[in-house]
Amino acid sequence: MKTIFKYFFIATLSISLIGVAHAAAELPDNLHVIASIEQTSFSVDDNLMVSVTYHNFGNQTISLLKWDTALNNGLTEDLFDIEFNDQKIPYTGVHVKRLAPTRSDFVQIAPGESATGKVNLQGSYPINFKGRYKIAMRNSGALATKLQVPITFNLNADRPIIQAKRPARFQNCSTSQTSSIDAALTSAERIANAAITDLRGTPVVLRATAPRYREWFGSYSAGRYSQIELGMERIASALSSQTIGFDCDCSGQDGVDPNNTFAFVFPNDPYNMTLCGVFFQVAREGTDSKSGTIVHEISHFNVVASSDDFASALDQRGSRRLASSSPTSAIRNANAFEYFAENTPFLQMPLPADLAFISARSSKLRPFAGQSMMILGVISNLGDGSAPASVTNVTLIDMAGVIQTAETAVSPLNAGENFDFEINLKAPGAPGEYVVEVCVAQVAGESNVNNNCTALTSLLVRESVAITPILPLLLDD
């Protein structure tokens, strides 16, 4: 039935290339490649397993070189096109230079037979961020368009990025200065990581109205947003993995007044900064704080975001004005990176909602034909963001197709909130077995739409009994 097919994510690719070969783009005639996944949602601890079946639709046995297919023991070639937020994720796995193949490197697939291999995407593609991923078999040109159903899966949390954190380097700093800088550096790393998580986690359709983005970077464009994402990612990465050099003596720099200066850098000298008087007077976190100043300075480096200081945007008011009047300048404003990361006062980046059924059942499992009944249950918002109002509809299906639908409104749901629904309808007029499918309509930017529908146990509609109006009640479930 229709519902059942929704839970299989099968992509079929017809390959019409010649001969026995080892690259994915050189598979022989009549060999169809079918990719599928058994899970649609993965936790960070799960292996991201994909099954790939090579089926011989021809009349002759195919001798297939296992290298660079999923039949090999592990991925050694870029076999998949994987997209996250409409951007391709690069293959970061191994490429192998080998000796000539031997007999054991081939697998024989007889006519009508298949060979299936499983590969783990983890380790070969950086699938690290919470959200929805789209996957297709990698192939050339028009062949890729034959993919019938895109495979999607969700990673349900950000994967912790394990990097060897290097200790900071200090120069001309007192013990108390070193201690306060160290604490600020930890905070800077935390706020930068939170900022990149929020930038990435905001669904594309909600980015144009994201209050926090608009506040500091102005009106939305996909290109500018990508630039900010890249810059913030590099800031977070530098703070997590680079040795940051701090010099606490800013008295010797021409043009710098230590009494009104937080810090300065040379943009072509990563990742060294000189801290001045104001830095040691401000709080560790919050607006124009120590941690924010570190984010600000890191953003200046040419290898990070090449940001600038704007004399008209030395505080939040000026930075807001720059964002409003010139978004192309605002995305180069070091203070905008800082204020976005500090996020004080707090502003939202809209996170995705995820509407799903906690339960759904029919008030009657074996109703009489035409009898009133009710579909009821609970919908929950499992996502991190709020869900606007939606609608739930119920569909009765028999072997010939849809025969009845009904719907009810679903109120807006905050993250974690539930909604009890009831939909009244009449059992079909003809006795028989029916499938009941209940779906809640997808809301904008929803993170996982694979759980928006659920199928109830088959509904068995009985012949109506017309002898007495009381009898159906006596025979009721």
Partner 1 sequence: MFYRSSAGKGSVAKLAILSFLLLTLFACSETVDLKAQTSVNAQDVKSNSSVSEKVSNELVLDLAVDQEYLDSGQLVLIATLKNGSTNEVSFLPWANPFEKNVTADFLTIVDLTAGVELPYRGIMVKRMPPKPSDYQSLAPQQTISNTIDITSSYTFCADQKLKIVYSGALYNQLSKPYALELNSLEMVLPDAFPDC
- What is the set of active-site residues? 297
Q: Given the rule CB under 8 A, which of 108-116, 206-214, 257-265, 411-419 is the region that contacts partner 1?
A: 257-265
The residue from 77, 198, 247, 297 that contacts partner 1 (CB under 8 A) is 297
At its nearest, how many Å lie between partner 1 and the CB of residue 273? 10
Taking CB under 8 A as the rule, does residue 61 contact partner 1?
no
The CB-of-347 to partner 1 minimum distance in angstroms stands at 21
Question: Does residue 328 bind partner 1 (CB under 8 A)?
Answer: yes
Q: Which of 51, 152, 312, 451 binds partner 1 (CB under 8 A)?
A: 312
DSSP designation for 144: G
Instruction: Decide: is 130 part of the binding site for partner 1 (CB under 8 A).
Output: no
* DSSP for 195-244, written as a single string: HHHHHHHS-HHHHTT-HHHHHHH-S--HHHHHHHHHHHHHHHHHHHHSPP
Identify which range of 71-79, 143-151, 296-304, 460-468 contacts partner 1 by CB under 8 A: 296-304
End-to-end Cα separation, the chain, in angstroms: 26
Question: One symbol per residue from 330 to 359: x for binding partner 1 (CB under 8 A), - otherwise; what is it?
Answer: ----xx------------------------
Distance separating alpha carbons of residues 269 and 440, to the nearest angstrom:
54
Q: Tell me which long-range contacts 140-147 makes (C-beta under 8 A, separation of at least 24).
A: 140/25, 143/13, 143/14, 143/15, 143/16, 143/25, 144/13, 144/81, 146/12, 146/13, 146/14, 147/11, 147/12, 147/13
User: Which of 263, 298, 396, 453 is close enough to bind partner 1 by CB under 8 A?
Assistant: 263
What amino acid occupies position 236? A
SS3 category, 406: strand
With contacts defined by CB under 8 A, name the span among 56-64, 76-84, 315-323, 455-463 that binds partner 1: 315-323
Q: Among 4, 103, 176, 254, which residue interacts with partner 1 (rule: CB under 8 A)?
A: 254
Stretch that binds partner 1, among 83-91, 150-158, 218-226, 327-335 (CB under 8 A): 327-335
Q: Could you give the dihedral angle defined by the CA atoms of residues 97, 103, 105 and 108, in that order, rounded to the nearest 10 degrees?
A: 140
Which range touches partner 1 (CB under 8 A), out of 323-331, 399-407, 428-436, 442-450? 323-331
In the complex, the smallest distance separating the C-beta of residue 177 from partner 1, rounded to whole angstroms, is 17
Asked if 300 is part of the footprint of partner 1 (rule: CB under 8 A), the reply reads yes
- 24 or 304: whose CB is closer to partner 1? 304
Is the CB of residue 138 less than 8 Å from the CB of residue 158? Answer: no
* Total site size for partner 1, rule CB under 8 A: 37
State the Cα–Cα distance between residues 442 and 456, nearest whole angstrom: 19
Token pair for residue 253? 């720099």
Among 42, 262, 271, 421, contact with partner 1 (rule: CB under 8 A): 262
Q: How far apart are CA 69 and CA 77, in angstroms?
A: 8
> Residue 200: how many CB atoms within 10 A of its CB?
18
Instruction: Write out the DSSP string of 325-388.
Output: H-HHHHTTBHHHHHHHHH--S----PPPP-EEEEEEEES-SSPBTT-EEEEEEEEEE-SSS-B-
Is 293 an interacting residue with respect to partner 1 (CB under 8 A)? yes
Residue appearing with tokens 């999607």: 152
- The piece of 182-190, 227-235, 321-329, 464-472 that touches partner 1 (CB under 8 A) is 321-329
State in angstroms the smallest separation of the CB of 299 from partner 1: 9
Contact 369, 416 (CB under 8 A): no
Smallest gap, in angstroms, from Cβ of residue 231 to partner 1? 15
270/383 with CB nearer partner 1: 270
Type of residue numbered 278: V
What the block records as the tokens of 105 is 């490197």
Q: Is 472 in the site for partner 1 (CB under 8 A)?
A: no
- 7 forms part of the interface with partner 1 (CB under 8 A): no
Binding flag, residue 233, partner 1 (CB under 8 A) = no
Q: Does 322 bind partner 1 (CB under 8 A)?
A: yes
Contact set with partner 1 (CB under 8 A) = 253-257, 260-268, 278, 293, 296-297, 300, 302, 308-315, 318, 321-322, 325-326, 328-329, 334-335
